[in-house]
Every structure is written in C-alpha cells, then in structure tokens.
Amino acid sequence: MPGEHHAQDEVWMAWPHRPDNWRDNGKPVQAVFVELAIAIAQFTPVTVIVSDELYRQARKQLPNDIEVLKIASNDCWMRDIGATYVINNNGQRRGISWQFNAWGGTLDGLYDDWTLDNAVAKQMTEVTGDSCDEVDLILEGGSIHCDGDGTLYTTEECLLHPSRNPQLSKSDIERQLKEILGVEKIIWLTHGLFNDETNGHIDNILHVVKPGEVLLTVCDDPTDPQYAISQQALSLLQQSTDAKGRKIKVHALPMPGPLYLSEQEAEGIIPSSGMVRQAGERLAASYANFLISNGGIIFPLLDEKHDAKAQSVLQAAFPNHQLVGLNCREILLGGGNIHCMTQHVPSSANDSPS
C-alpha cells in the first residue's frame, strides 16, 4: 500500500445527498463539495460518483473537467467505501474491496442499508482498470494510514470495536492487514478523536507526512477529554519506531474549538434512528483530516482562533507543497472532513514521492 504522499493518478469523491446527515437536503454541503473538487483538480484529476436521479444536479454544479459517473452510494464518504489500492514490485496495481457496514452494522451503524456503499469499491476498480480483491474483513479506509514503507497506523478503538470483526483477535487482524496490504509493522493508537462517530478513525487524529514522520492532533486544555487521548498517543508515538527502525517525528496540530452543532444547523436535518444530529452535540473537528494529492495539501479551515497555526504546522511539515484551505464546517456537520470525503488512486509508477 503506497503512502498518500506518493504520486496519484486520480481522486474519487461521492455526491452528498442524505437528508438525515446533510442539512437542507444537502444543498449547503454540495456547494462546499464543489469547491473541494475544484481545489483538488488543481493537482489531480477528480472523478465524482452520483446516482442516476441526482446526476443532472451534480453535473450542472461541477465544472466540465471533473468527470461525473453514474454510480450510486448510500452516503458520500469515499475514503471508507472506495477501493484501497496496493502495488506490487512489478508496478501492477490492484484494488482492495473491504466489507463495509456503515461504521457498526446492527450494533451501532449510522444507517440501516449500506448495500450501495458496499458495492462502490468493485465498481471503482472496474473504471480504473484494475483487478479487485474482495476480502471478508470489515474495515473502512479512514481507519488506516500507511507510510508506503512498511508501517501502518490505526486505532484499537476502531479495529477492535465489537461492531467490526468481533470473531478476530488483535493478532488475527494484524496478520490479515500485513498480508493484504504488504505492511511489516502496525502501530496502534488506543483511541481516535473524542466523540468521533466512526469509533475513532485514525485519519481524524493523525496523518502520515512520510516514513518516520506524522502529524497528530494535540489538545492543550487538560480539562478537555481530548487532552488525555492526545497525550497518550503522543507518548506512544515518541516511544515507537517504524518498520525500518526509524524514530517517529511528531508534528503537533492544534485542536479546533471545541466546536458544537448549532440549533439552526440541527433544524435543517431530517431525524433518523442511526445518526444523532442534535443542537449542542460536540463535533469531531480535526485539522488532521486533510488530503495530500501530488503537489497539494487541501486542508479544512475550522476555527479562526486556530486556522493560522494549523496552516503554519502543515506548511512546515510540507515545505514543497502548495496549501489550499477551505471553509469546511458544512462537511464537519456530517461527521467527517476532507480526507473522509476523498479516496486517491495511486500511480503505479510510485518510485518517488510527489
């Protein structure tokens, strides 16, 4: 599995539309989605999938250089429903189709029917022209980060959650991930971001810069529940070495907020049994939820008090990349952010980072 910092051929996204997740029938978030697609397209070709019913809506709003395909999904979190790609030593690329159960299935999933989502990865590989390995492991793409050099980062909170693969032990899951993704070492954080409804995805608290180097969301308020989580993760990372024996350099990203769902924002959401969208709910906001795509870093602007500091930290970590910040509160209201909304297709010519 290549790292996200390696060269990419495409970035895929899925049109947001669920009225129980997106306020006002998705119109506000669709406007931000278009801005995001345009920003990514500066660096990498973008493909957007959408249902037949909403095709004309998406096609009208997106510029002509962005490809729009009629592939339906239950929601829009392409990182979790799209294919994860691996490349062998001969440069042959393959897609991995994980089993998807809406972040918890019947135990604590966010919606009841995820049939369309679970079929996306296979269709994606058919379009990209790659063979597809359909595996039995329940896993979302946002729950893993890889450095492309043998090390994978994840959280126990998510991969060992009883709603994923309760029949498998930690060592069973490690063995499968090493075999499927070609990694040599897995670094497990205990928890992800506080109140993250994905059960603690790694991509909402940590991002890989390159082998031996990561960004981590760090909270500076000892009274905040995120403080202890981040301090534990920081200590673990500083005491760890990666698959090649490197000590891990950690860049500390500030934590925005804390931010909360407003009454006005909550009023525009149609209630459902799976997703809790109530005024006053704490939002799982993180600057770590950004996308590396070739020469660009597309990152969320979330809090005026911390946006400039986050940008400074990101620029220091990626001195040769162009940073593009987008106001992403509308995406955050749905439970994720830029990284969650995108899935990259790595180039098979991946000898050197972008």
- Give residue 140's pLDDT: 98
Which of 132, 219, 328, 340 is the catalytic position? 340
Confidence of residue 274 (pLDDT cuts 50, 70, 90): confident
Q: Say if residue 166's pLDDT is above 50.
A: yes
Which CATH number is associated with domain 8-346?
3.75.10.10
Domain definitions of the chain by residue range: 8-346
Rounded distance between C-alpha atoms, residue 268 and residue 265, angstroms: 6
| Overall average pLDDT of the 100-129 stretch | 96
Q: Say if residue 267's pLDDT is above 90.
A: yes
Closest CA to 292 of 6, 46, 1, 2: 6
Reply yes or no on whether 340 is catalytic.
yes
Confidence of residue 276 (pLDDT cuts 50, 70, 90): confident
- For the entire predicted model, the pTM comes to 0.96
